[in-house]
Chains A and B, each alone.
Chain A
């Protein structure tokens, strides 16, 4: 592998989905085969490149690519361990979601537009993961907002348009504030590369107020995407989007982008020491804890499957924020690993919800009675995802909760264990009744709108396969958490590199 080639690796990872996406826009609606092969080709190339990069980063290499952009702030792409965590997550789940989306939208109109923006959205996510400084991050962050909007409103119904408007109102006004925050920080300390341990430490004395203001502004904006408490309103409403979009929004792209931004901000911009010096962690922790409980509580009363899942996301993503805000190494492992675990679990749940809706026309929870007999595989995947969300071993969710809990005890915040316990109870309270309906109750009446999508399987194989894949993945990530391939080991590697600088 030549150095020249290596330098362009981060860029080519982004381009591997961007170029097919741009070509797809130009395709006609009828060129189905070409579009599918372009999509899959993009996914394949991206996975291959990510694999190469993963190998190299594991060996301790750093990737760096820069373009002159603004004075004092180049456009920098950088591949470190943390960005790779997110890149691997989004690439693997992109594969699953692409297959799912192809199956899901088989007969619907405007597929070129959909898949074009779909690829654009993933490019923006990967770019955001690879961004090497705040300015680049900001750029991709805005790009992500713009690329997801057409996906949210894809159906074009008044409902989805309303949801899209709300989404734009939240995220665009957020974008302006983010720019303000970035500019403020830039004026204080410039925008150097993200470095483990942060780079504001030198400027802390004398600038406490402004730094706190910049932090608050940026958290506020990242909190919109990560659905932190007062700013979560758009997420449940955005549920009207097609299932693959919801899956992508919740597991990979938007919500995770916010959470990932918070991680970057806390660890690589401010750093643990400055966070402690400025006493910024405690409010963030309180906010995240409140969001965890609030989201779970609101999820209880939701009768629509996807809405319940949306509130569950609000709660679960805050685990990541909470893990980061605790500022301890074990908690950080928990938070980072939950970034991956939550993604895989939530995408499984959304795939299953989409399968129920597409195959049987089920949207409400009370219509799920007896679905376990009609669609056993999907129901099994849903059950696994739900158990993972509650934190029952050996699913992935248990591992992240265990580390988060250990982290809370490590930093002496025992009350957070109470938060986790309560949230676990609430999770059980809104997921177990659903599981109970699926398996133990008899079918009540006919299915709302049954379709025969496959002669051999319970539904179209392209809808079934991604759900099986992610369900197995979440089980494997929990069972084999200690192996070198697991997200847990990778998170431990990140945290090792991160906290070594303290």
Chain B
């Protein structure tokens, strides 16, 4: 731990002293470096590469800082640095669509930051001026500060109903940037919740079932909305909304199981980060994969990990999630059977979404891809292979460090069944040509409309304004001058009056 409170802002301290910040830091660093190396190749022919690297570096610094922060101010600094710099990545392509999405992103990012700021203030004040978040763990939460923190951090984490910017901003950014946005940066919201919302707090335990339900809705909503889109990166963004729903469920379970769910949460974060980053990178290179079986196989490896095929990291975390859910002390109105059957159908939906994604990726034309040298292409695919390889090496780490249980045979069966069912559904769907009417697909998000309305509101050309009645003193002065020009008597009388008033005042 580095204590900087005598040098930098008050209370400043950095360090990786916790069970969850250390793996989080390592995982983020690995992903940032891998994707950074990837960007070195993919942005080589980018005309605005300088800008890309500037914002990339700022986001990187912010992200690493916020993980290592031991106090609220350092976290907030890292958080806002990352949020604001990510704007540069979102609008990097500089298309009208990117600028629109960027505007929505920035509006929500600033809103989230202000909410977070207020929440942190209230917490710091409740903790008696301590900025160190470890000392906040024992301070009871209030409804106001809890909701401020949940909203402020949730806007970054992007679960339903705070997901508006995700499906807009992730697809328009360059592929490596979206990989980082979806893979690491949105997790910062979750990390903030872990730091600033003590899981064992009584109020949090009361709210946890609600969060659990919200997470479940988010998990379903993300998939269903994703199925209605045909652009691969939009589908992936919606998939992130759904996966963040699972993570929110785990966060709620943290309160309901008395922090026993922490290893599962961490494993899930790492798993989703790696898998989602791989898929986004692939979506950026899909055109190059046409007709090359190995490249497509790599995609399927990542997708299958996401679908939780046995032996993959997904299988481990999904099984562990279910186990924690059964172990949790749920309130009476939440039936565990309903929940676990919902989780199973959630698995079907996730698989369905990924199959949908695969179909859409096949349709991507190679012509859309800019020409790159053979070395460049080979390098990018090698890095991609490395990323997918890391993803498939994860189960070993999870078993080793977090002691997640290996799924039993029956559990494995329960994992395969939804995938098979999804394949069947997809096949039927394909065969029978089920389609919703065309206008249900690729609808514009209402969020963009409201974002524009908001912009009109804060960039008005004119405002209604009322003028104060202007008092022109000049005529009065003239009249006074004329009055003073009169014979001496009146002037004297005036002066006497003034003097009288002053004496009266001083006499009181």
Contact = CB atoms under 8 A, between A and B. Distances in A.
B379 to A, nearest CB: 30
B110 A409 contact: no
A300 B80 CA distance: 23
A479 B9 CA distance: 6
Given A402-B73, A421-B114, A432 B6 contact: no
Choose among B8, B9, B473, B505 the residue with the greatest number of A CB atoms under 10 Å from its CB: B9
B9 A399 contact: yes
Interface stretch (B122-130, B217-225, B335-343, B438-446): B122-130
B9 A478 contact: yes
A405 interface: yes
Interface in A455-502: 478-483, 488
Interface string A403-442: 0011011100010011011001110111011000000100
Given A394-B77, A406-B124, A424-B114, A481 B8 contact: yes
Contacts of A429: 458-459
Given A300-B459, A405-B117, A483-B7, A187 B506 contact: yes
Interface stretch (B16-24, B246-254, B349-357, B461-469): B461-469
A482 B8 contact: yes
B129 A406 contact: yes
Nearest to B84: A392
Interface residues of B, number: 44
A301 interface: yes
Interface string B88-126: 000100100000000000100011011101100110111
A298 interface: yes
Contacts of A284: none
A8 B94 CA distance: 63
A4 B6 CA distance: 37
Contacts of A428: 110, 114
Contact of A393 (B77, B126, B458, B505): B77
B118 A298 contact: no
A393 B506 contact: no
Contact of B125 (A187, A401, A409): A409
Interface residues of A, number: 49
A210 B508 contact: yes
A451 to B, nearest CB: 28
A169 interface: yes
A184 B77 contact: no
Nearest to A488: B10
Given A393-B80, A405-B118, A410 B463 contact: no
B76 A393 contact: yes
B12 interface: yes
Interface string B387-423: 0000000000000000000000000000000000000
A183 B508 CA distance: 12
A233 B502 CA distance: 30
A233 B110 contact: no
B121 A409 contact: yes
Given A300-B458, A301-B461, A482 B5 contact: yes
Contact of B9 (A210, A297, A393): A393
Given A300-B459, A300-B463, A440-B91, A425 B111 contact: yes
B433 interface: no
B10 A481 contact: yes
Nearest to B11: A482
A297 B457 CA distance: 11
B144 interface: yes
B460 interface: yes
Contact of A483 (B6, B84, B460, B508): B6
Given A300-B460, A301-B460, A433-B459, A409 B122 contact: yes
Q: Which of A210, A409, A488 has the most CB of B within 10 A?
A: A409
A430 B457 CA distance: 11
A334 B52 CA distance: 37
B389 to A, nearest CB: 38
Nearest to A209: B508
A432 B110 contact: yes
A459 B487 CA distance: 62
A414 B8 contact: no
Contacts of B461: 301, 303
Interface string B460-484: 1111010010000100000000000
Interface in B66-87: 73, 76-77, 80-81, 84
Contacts of A330: 129
B117 A482 contact: no
B385 to A, nearest CB: 36
Contact of A482 (B10, B76, B84, B505): B10
Nearest to B507: A187
Contact of B115 (A390, A421, A440, A483): A421
User: Which 8 interchain pairs have the tightest Cβ spacing?
Assistant: A409-B125, A429-B458, A405-B121, A393-B77, A301-B463, A187-B506, A481-B9, A428-B110
10 contacts: A180-B505, A184-B506, A297-B463, A417-B122, A418-B118, A420-B118, A421-B117, A480-B8, A481-B9, A481-B10
